[in-house]
Amino acid sequence: MGDQNPFDHRLFAHKNFEIPVSNSSEGVDNYYFKIRSSQKADIRIAFRSVNRFVFYALNEYFLYGIFYGMILIIALYNLLIYSAIREVKYLYYVFYLLSVAGFAMALDGIGFQYLWPENPSWNSYATGVFAFFIITFAILFSVKFLNLKHRHRIFYRILIGFLAVKSLLFLVGLWFFPSLLEIQVYDVVPFSLILIASIQVLIKGYKVARLFVAAYSILFIGLMLKVMVQTAVIPHGTVLYYSLHIAFFDRNALTDFGTGRSC
């Protein structure tokens, strides 16, 4: 049942793994299962009736459609702005949005279902690759938007240096040690640096950075909640589990409004 099998081998065409269980007798039944994974596996188990499963699946896919649809709309909007005024920061932002969408789709299983169903081997690399591009274009966009090269040269050097180290680790992981791609805890660092840098630029009088600070504050909170859920620091919940999706959506909306105002 693993994600190393083509998607059309599944009993149900759904992003999650489903196992039909007969439940015709009264009393308590015990079920046993064994999990073997070549990479980190986030296992959540739920028993649902058929009616409940259909209701849950339809609503979940509907919300995914809204989430990815809004990302696509914002990306197209910024692509149009770039084509009109040719400022490279808008192109960075488009690539950042597409990387966010790719990462979320890889994480959710939506990407495997719709984008690469016949290439299950890509599942081992997808989250790590898209996470790298999120960091890359977030740094490039932030450096350009905040004009850190002139407004705060120290943070400019720190962020570019971090990107260089991240790129090196990414290439090593991609070609030699794929397990390195799974280590994403330290990805909190660049977002923390970007948030601090934006606050410093705002203090120096760059008022356009206000929405940027708000956007990255929301993203930082969502990122920390997601990390704490995955490491079992706080209990699992539906809203907390999708906190990063919500944070990405709010961050993108605020940043997009901010970049529009700075035209």
Angle between helices 88-108 and 243-261 (to 10 degrees): 170
Whole-number percent of the chain with pLDDT over 70: 83
Could you tell me the CA-to-CA distances from 42 to 45, 179, 227, 256 in Å, in that order? 10, 16, 12, 32
Name the more confident of 209 and 150.
150
Q: Does residue 27 have a pLDDT over 90?
A: no
Average pLDDT for 79-94: 91
pLDDT at 114: 93
Assess contact for 188 and 224: CB atoms under 8 A: yes
- Helix, strand, coil share (%) of the chain residues, nearest 5: 70, 0, 30
Q: Does residue 250 have a pLDDT over 70?
A: no
Predicted confidence band of residue 263 (pLDDT cuts 50, 70, 90): very low
Q: Which helix (H) or strand (E) holds 257?
A: helix 243-261
Q: Write out the two tokens for 176.
A: 């030699």
Predicted confidence band of residue 243 (pLDDT cuts 50, 70, 90): low
pLDDT tens-digit map of 154-175: 989 999 999 999 999 888 888 8
What is the pTM assigned to this prediction?
0.82
Predicted confidence band of residue 251 (pLDDT cuts 50, 70, 90): low
Average pLDDT for 243-255: 60
Cα 14 to Cα 38: distance, rounded to the nearest angstrom: 22
pLDDT at 91: 93
Could you tell me the CA-to-CA distances from 158 to 123, 175, 178, 187 in Å, in that order? 32, 26, 26, 14
Average pLDDT for 192-197: 87
pLDDT at 139: 93
pLDDT at 253: 54
pLDDT tens-digit map of 96-140: 999 989 998 998 889 999 999 988 888 888 888 998 999 999 999
